[in-house]
Amino acid sequence: MKKLFTKWDFIIILICLCLSVLLFALRPNENGNEAVIRVDGKEYKTVDINGADTDEITVNGVTVVYGGGEIYIKDSSCRDKICVNAGHLSKKGQSAVCAPSRVSVEIKNNGKNAPRAVTG
């Protein structure tokens, strides 16, 4: 029978598991105010997510919607839709990744996080 996992696959899975546990333990609870959209690991655009109006941007077939203090991947041309299922992100450090499209979105906080004004 063919081995499905090599030792290295196992180690990588283990590292991923440890990272998720760590990320869960250190759940960010600070709101972010901007998000970095990356393509191929390179910064494509940094957007302000605290705008009152939502805006969207499509890159590599991935449609990202941002505004109102959050950002999310609305639609993607990928098959697994893991990125879409990542849901709405609003806290610093949260991210959504579309591996097939090589697009990632990560929430940041540039320190200029004025309390969001409540308007109408």
For 6, 10, 12, 13, 120, the CA distances from 3, given in Å and listed in that order, are 7, 12, 16, 16, 60
Q: Which of residues 63-92 bind Zn ion (CB under 5 A)?
A: 76, 78, 83
**Token output for 119:** 């308007």
CB of 60 to Zn ion, least distance (A): 10
Other Cβ atoms closer than 10 A to 91: 15
CB of 79 to Zn ion, least distance (A): 8
Member of 35, 98, 105, 107 binding Zn ion (CB under 5 A): 98
**Residues at the contact surface with Zn ion, assessed by CB under 5 A:** 76, 78, 83, 98
